[in-house]
């Protein structure tokens, strides 16, 4: 297929903005890139997609999300509003993940995946929890991903908070799914895996060691790190170490691992994160929503930590996350120079693509380069000031909106065209999810009530 009559944004190291350009796609890969005048002649007989002057660019990537949180939309938390992040965990997320069964895990994944296609997010790193439906839960999500045509890196959040048997089941589920995605016949698959862990504060030394021992050598972990001070207090009480040294000691942070958040890490921990080679995923909307503070992205990047951008289960529109990051660090530091557009693009475009590409065999993706995978979007954005490689990040922050995404393609296959989903029915997916909502919410209300009573007893 030849996509022609486009302004091509290539991303990649040699980022370029190329008006009146075409991209030729063959066998799921970007095969050729050049001016319309040349490629329209060269591929005259091929199927064409007229971009009509729109922007053609790589799809967005989200490095940390939670499909399982979908049923939190519009849900009431019984009792007074949670006063801090530990209460949000105990009274919202943990009772909610307990409420999920096979059907609702599938529905949660599908509604997020629909959103992702419509927002032009083509690769997602999901961090899943459903303690009452662990075995096979990643297959259910994988099937949903497969059905939608997107690309996803899955894992199960191992935790001790629901007892030893469920911690072991979580380990088993990760190992099983890592093995499934690393089989030779899985090459070229749009699915990949990491080994999921909830957070230091719900993991014993024994469980951390069991996870490390179960991890195939070349795989990485995906874990929440120091999202709130409570993670540090718990780690110090349990081990005498802060969270990052504790995880390093147990072999959890390596070059393939993702540490989500890193809001409450000190200077020594930042150095350790840089030395470990682990990626730190930043989620500004979530940090603001939970009132946990802001990760010091400036200090992390200066220390050489590879920072990437996720959304922690918010909507899958990554440009909204760009905007949140762009604004948050200015207000947090009271300095308008913080998180400038170029730094943001290095994180959200370049680093996200490097992390995602490292988890898949074969060609890379996240840039328009011949030989790379064709995960692409068309954006109906018509700049009224010059659009250049230098000012592109500011056009994105101040001008791009997800509703402008008109075409989403993964592996050369068009999943949405002219904003119409080609293989899945959004209304049907939403209706099925809605049908299950009363029973999920009823189960949640019971678990939430129990959590509130437990808390009262603790006081």
Write out the residues near Zn ion by the rule CB under 5 A: 312
Contacts of 306 (CB under 8 A, 6+ apart): 277, 278, 279, 280, 351, 354, 355
Burial state string for 253-292 with b = 16 or more CB within 10 A and e = fewer than 16: bbebbbbbbbbbbeeebbebbbebebbbbbbbbbbbebeb
In this structure, are strands 151-154 and 48-50 parallel, antiparallel, or unpaired?
unpaired
Query: Helix H segments across 346-425?
Result: 352-358, 392-399
Give the shortest CB-281-to-Zn ion separation in angstroms. Answer: 8
- Cβ proximity to Zn ion: between 155 and 410 the closer is 155
Give the shortest CB-31-to-Zn ion separation in angstroms. Answer: 37
- Cβ proximity to Zn ion: between 5 and 287 the closer is 287
Give the shortest CB-88-to-Zn ion separation in angstroms. Answer: 12
E strands along 158-309, which residues? Answer: 191-193, 195-199, 221-225, 258-261, 279-282, 306-309
Angle between helices 426-458 and 102-119 (to 10 degrees): 120
Give the shortest CB-400-to-Zn ion separation in angstroms. Answer: 25
Give the shortest CB-64-to-Zn ion separation in angstroms. Answer: 6
- Cβ proximity to Zn ion: between 70 and 379 the closer is 70
Which residue's Cβ has the minimum distance to Zn ion?
312
**187, 173 contact by CB (below 8 A):** no
- Cβ proximity to Zn ion: between 312 and 321 the closer is 312
Task: Supply φ then ψ for residue 287, to 5 degrees.
Answer: -60, -40
Q: Which of 91, 88, 68, 107 is nearest to 437 (CA)?
A: 107
- Cβ proximity to Zn ion: between 254 and 289 the closer is 289
Give the shortest CB-65-to-Zn ion separation in angstroms. Answer: 8
Contacts of 51 (CB under 8 A, 6+ apart): 3, 4, 5, 6, 378
- Cβ proximity to Zn ion: between 225 and 248 the closer is 225
- Cβ proximity to Zn ion: between 162 and 312 the closer is 312
Give the shortest CB-196-to-Zn ion separation in angstroms. Answer: 10
DSSP for 5-48, written as a single string = EEEEE--STT--EEEEEEEEEETTEEEEEEEHHHHHHHTTTS-E
Contacts of 110 (CB under 8 A, 6+ apart): 144, 147, 148, 424, 429, 432, 433
- Cβ proximity to Zn ion: between 62 and 392 the closer is 62
Give the shortest CB-314-to-Zn ion separation in angstroms. Answer: 10
* CA atoms in the 13 A half-sphere facing the CB of 176: 14
Give the shortest CB-97-to-Zn ion separation in angstroms. Answer: 12
Q: Compute the distance between CA of residue 421 and CA of residue 395 in angstroms, rounded to an integer.
A: 27
- Cβ proximity to Zn ion: between 4 and 161 the closer is 161
Q: Compute the distance between CA of residue 358 and CA of residue 350 in angstroms, rounded to an integer.
A: 12
């Amino acid at each position: 297929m030849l996509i022609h009559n486009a302004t091509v944004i290539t991303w990649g190291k040699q980022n370029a903005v190329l008006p009146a350009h075409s991209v030729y796609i063959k066998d799921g890969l970007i095969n050729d890139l050049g001016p319309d005048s040349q490629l329209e002649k060269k591929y005259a007989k091929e199927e064409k997609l007229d971009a009509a002057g729109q922007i053609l660019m790589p799809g967005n990537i989200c490095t940390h999300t939670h499909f399982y949180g979908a049923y939190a939309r519009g849900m009431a938390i019984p009792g007074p509003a949670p006063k801090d992040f530990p209460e949000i965990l105990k009274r919202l997320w943990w009772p909610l993940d307990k409420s999920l069964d096979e059907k609702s895990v599938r529905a949660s994944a599908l509604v997020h995946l629909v959103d992702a296609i419509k927002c032009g997010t083509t690769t997602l790193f999901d961090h899943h929890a459903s303690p009452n439906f662990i075995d096979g839960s990643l297959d259910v999500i994988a099937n949903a991903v497969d059905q939608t045509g997107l690309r996803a890196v899955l894992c199960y959040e191992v935790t001790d908070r629901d007892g030893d048997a469920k911690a072991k089941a979580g380990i088993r589920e990760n190992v099983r799914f890592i093995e499934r995605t690393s089989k030779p016949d899985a090459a070229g698959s749009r699915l990949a895996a990491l080994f999921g862990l909830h957070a230091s504060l719900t993991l014993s030394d024994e469980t951390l060691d069991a996870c490390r021992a179960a991890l195939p050598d070349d795989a990485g972990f995906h874990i929440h790190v120091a999202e709130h001070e409570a993670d540090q207090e718990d780690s110090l009480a349990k081990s005498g170490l802060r969270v990052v040294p504790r995880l390093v000691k147990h072999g959890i942070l390596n070059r393939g691992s993702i540490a989500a958040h890193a809001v409450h890490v000190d200077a020594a921990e930042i150095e350790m994160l840089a030395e470990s080679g682990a990626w730190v995923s930043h989620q500004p909307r979530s940090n603001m929503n939970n009132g946990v503070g802001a990760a010091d992205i400036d200090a992390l990047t200066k220390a050489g930590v590879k920072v990437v951008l996720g959304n922690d289960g918010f909507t899958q529109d990554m440009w909204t996350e760009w905007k949140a990051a762009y604004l948050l660090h200015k207000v947090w530091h009271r300095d308008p120079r913080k998180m400038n557009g170029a730094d943001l693009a290095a994180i959200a475009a370049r680093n996200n693509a490097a992390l995602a590409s490292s988890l898949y065999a074969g060609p890379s993706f996240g840039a328009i380069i011949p030989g790379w995978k064709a995960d692409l979007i068309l954006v109906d954005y018509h700049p009224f000031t010059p659009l250049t490689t230098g000012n592109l990040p500011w056009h994105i922050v101040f001008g791009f909106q997800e509703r402008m995404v008109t075409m989403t393609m993964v592996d050369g296959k068009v999943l949405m065209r002219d904003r119409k989903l080609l293989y899945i029915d959004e209304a049907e997916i939403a209706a099925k999810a809605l049908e299950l909502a009363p029973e999920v919410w009823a189960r949640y209300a019971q678990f939430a009530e129990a959590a509130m009573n437990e808390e009262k007893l603790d006081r």
